[in-house]
Amino acid sequence: GQQVQQSPASLVLQEGENAELQCNFSTSLNSMQWFYQRPGGSLVSLFYNPSGTKHSGRLTSTTVIKERRSSLHISSSQTTDSGTYLCALERTNAYKVIFGKGTHLHVLP
Amino acid sequence: AQTIHQWPVAEIKAVGSPLSLGCTIKGKSSPNLYWYWQATGGTLQQLFYSITVGQVESVVQLNLSASRPKDDQFILSTEKLLLSHSGFYLCAWSRDRTNTGQLYFGEGSKLTVL
């Protein structure tokens, strides 16, 4: 089965609303990395988070290994936040990373 | 500061023709290097990784090969392209010695096979 599951698959918000993106995993994890994928395909690294909570501006990442989940919280969403968010699970003691299918976020003005 | 450069930015190729995509990392010695591929609308998949010059490990078989001829260079190639090779190819590097660690990606190469 799928080792990394992202939810929701898509999300539509009004500007100013908050967003909670989830990534659940079923295999051993060394760390979780969150990316924003630009429309052209290139990736912007948002967080590298092995455990606990990290903040960057309006973004917060929380990884809870015991519960096998990682989340990305976007507060006070803006239209420029629209796009695809990817989580990527780094396997333990391996040079392998498994990506989720992504959450497509659309923020309406 | 480390930089990663991928080439070409985009290619349009015929089925059955050869392909070579490359990436170069500057400012970091002995990086771990990776190739990823994403079909249009699909999930990013890891294809290869290399932790040292001359050694490449395959993760997913897509009738592609990879080589690391220099410490700072990673090449993805095939002698005969298939339609299914179309997509977006990303090269990445990391610095961890026992795991992947944080990944740093290039800008990618878009491949269209006709």
Per-residue pLDDT of chain B (114 residues; tens, 9 = 90+): 889 999 999 999 999 999 999 999 998 889 999 999 999 999 999 999 999 999 999 999 789 999 999 999 999 999 999 999 999 999 999 987 777 788 999 999 999 999
**Cα angle B44, B50, B53; round to 5:** 150
The mean pLDDT of chain B is: 94
- Mean pLDDT across A10-24: 97
Of A30, A41, A94, the CB nearest to B110: A41
- Closest approach of A84 to chain B, Cα-based (Å): 11
Please judge whether A95 and B45 are an interchain contact, meaning their C-beta atoms are less than 8 angstroms apart.
no
Of B36, B99, B102, the CB nearest to A94: B99
- How many residues in total does chain B contain? 114
- How would you classify the pairing of strands B19-26 and B3-7? antiparallel
Which DSSP string corresponds to B54-89?
Answer: TEEEESS-SS-EEEEEETTEEEEEESS--GGG-EEE
Q: Which conformational region is residue A83 in: left (phi greater than 0), alpha (psi within -120 to 50 degrees), or beta? A: left
Mutation choice for B interface testing from A35, A87, A95 by most B CBs within 10 A: A95
Number of C-beta neighbours around residue A56 at 10 A: 10
Q: pLDDT for B48-79, tens place per residue? A: 999 999 999 999 978 999 999 999 999 999 99
